[in-house]
């Protein structure tokens, strides 16, 4: 029997996304965000509060990188979600992670994360539900360790996923089927 839970943001899995930007002083800022993701073949949408330092950095620089957090860096990723760049000037330095400047966008690449999308701002949207940044993906970088025949292997990626049911972090399990194939039996 189905039980009514009301209106909840229950989608699983949700990627743990790391937005990296440069501030006015070229200081690296990284933010953990749950309300974002792919919205087109070459676009991402970030639903983000305008009060975040990251938001101001994106507005000023017109660029950001978006990385997938992995299990080995769960503590650092969580820290980027609980510490505010508005209150912690040395937030990135405290994490002990490493970065390099992107050659394609005016934003840092956190080299410890295995997959990074380099993005330019396409549009800022102001809606009745809040502020949204649409970013155009100009390149994707992947650590060779997560590749299999030139493609990202989800198991090697070791992506951290967030559960909005109980506020937990999880890993992704084994492959159980092939997309665009598992349901072919119903086409007959």
CATH number of domain containing 50:
2.30.110.10
pTM here is: 0.93
Helices (H), the chain: 53-61, 74-82, 91-95, 154-157
pLDDT at residue 162 greater than cutoff 90? yes
Q: Does the residue 35 lie in any domain?
A: yes
Average the pLDDT over 53-63 and give the result: 97
Q: Does the residue 3 lie in any domain?
A: no
Q: Which of 49, 43, 52, 42 is CA-nearest to residue 20?
A: 52
Angle at 92 between CA 152 and CA 164, to 5 degrees: 60
Q: Does the residue 105 lie in any domain?
A: yes
In the chain, the number of structural domains is 1
Q: Does the residue 8 lie in any domain?
A: no
Q: Does the residue 39 lie in any domain?
A: yes
Angle at 119 between CA 117 and CA 122, to 5 degrees: 145
Q: Which domain holds residue 50?
A: 14-187
Helices (H), 10-160: 53-61, 74-82, 91-95, 154-157
The pLDDT-based confidence of 127 (bands split at 50, 70, 90) is confident
pLDDT at residue 142 greater than cutoff 90? yes
Q: Does the residue 93 lie in any domain?
A: yes
pLDDT at residue 24 greater than cutoff 90? no
């Amino acid at each position: 029997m189905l039980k009514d839970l009301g209106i909840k943001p229950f989608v699983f899995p949700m990627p743990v996304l790391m937005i990296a930007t440069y501030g006015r002083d070229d200081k690296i800022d990284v933010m953990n965000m749950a309300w974002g993701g792919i919205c087109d073949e070459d676009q991402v949408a970030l639903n983000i509060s305008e009060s975040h330092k990251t938001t101001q950095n994106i507005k000023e620089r017109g660029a950001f990188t978006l990385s997938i957090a992995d299990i080995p860096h769960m503590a650092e990723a969580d820290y980027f979600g609980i510490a505010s760049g508005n209150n912690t000037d040395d937030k990135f330095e405290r994490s002990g992670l490493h970065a390099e400047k992107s050659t394609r966008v005016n934003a840092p690449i956190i080299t410890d994360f295995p997959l990074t999308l380099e993005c330019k701002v396409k549009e800022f949207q102001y809606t009745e539900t809040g502020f949204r940044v649409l970013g155009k993906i100009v390149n994707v970088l992947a650590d060779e360790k997560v590749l299999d025949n030139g493609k990202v292997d989800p198991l090697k990626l070791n992506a951290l996923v967030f559960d909005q049911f109980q506020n937990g972090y999880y890993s992704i399990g084994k492959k159980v089927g092939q997309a665009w194939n598992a349901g072919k039996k119903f086409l007959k």
